[in-house]
Structure 1
C-alpha cells in the first residue's frame, strides 16, 4: 500500500475568520476561497486533514461535544461545496490556562508535532510530499518537526501576506493562494 500525501490545514485564521474560541455555527465565517482551495488540493490528490489547537475546551469555554457538533456542521458545509474533509485532529490542552483535566504539557499542542504525527500513522502519509497551511509560527514549527515538506505561512483571516519566517517554505495571503502554489508544483 503506497503512502498518501496530505494537506494539513489549521482551522482558525485559515479556514474561518478567527473570532477567538469559535465554537458555534453562528460564530463561524468561512474565509473567501476556502472551498475552491480545498477542491484544488483534493483534485491534486491530497487528503484534507484539519489540525487545530482548541484550548477553549481546556479553558472551559466550550465542551468537546460542542467542538464535535461544530465540526460536523463544518464538514456538511464542505460537502455541500464538493469537498470531503478526511479527518480532524484537535488538541484541547494548555500547559497553564486550563481546567485541571486539560492542564498539561502534551505532544499534540502545536508547535509540537503530535497531531500531525498521529495523522501520519493513521493515514499512512508521506510527510515529505505533504503540505501544512497555517497562520501562526507554531503551525510551521509543528510541520517542520513532523517532516512536512511544504509549509505555507498565510496571513491571519486571509487578509495579507505575512513576512516569511524561518520554518516556512512559502508565504501566501490565504488558503486559495497556498493551494495554487501547491497545484503549480505538481503540474
Structure 2
C-alpha cells in the first residue's frame, strides 16, 4: 500500500491529476511478494516499473488474495521509470529526499503501534524481548511542533480511524542512529518518472 501511495503521489506531482491506483493488482500480480501478507517495497516497485499499475476503479480492492489470479488485459493508469534507494541512512539524506517527494520507509513496530491515536512517536527500535512486525509507511513531510520537537509525518495504510486521520508522526533527530522505530535500519526508497 505504501508503494501504491508513493506512485500516486509521484503521478500527481508530474501531472497534477489525482488518481487512485490498484492495490489489488499488486496483491494478485506481484508474485515475488506475499499477497495480503505483505512483501517488500523494492520488489513491488520493480513490478510497477515493468508493468505499470491499473486504476482502483478498473482493478478494485477485494480484501482477499489471488482468488481469481492476476487479471489479464489490464489498462495501465500510471507507470514509473525506476526507483531510488537512499543508501545513506541519515536524517539529513531522508530530509533531502522528502523535500522533493514522499518516500517509502520500513519500520520495526511493536503491537502497540496498531493502537496509536496521535502525538509524536518516540519509541526505540526495539525493547528486549519485544515482538515486532515490519511495516512500510510513506513519509510525506517533516516539521517541528510548537515545543520545538522535530518530527516526520507519515501516511499509514490502516485507514482514517488510525492515528491522526490515517497519518502519524515520528520524532526525528534522535540520539539513536537507527532512528525511532528503526526508520534508518533499511534503505528508504521512492519511485521516479523520467520526463
- The structure with the largest alpha-carbon Rg is 2
Structure (1/2) with the larger strand percentage: 2
TM value normalised by structure 2: 0.27
TM value normalised by structure 1: 0.28
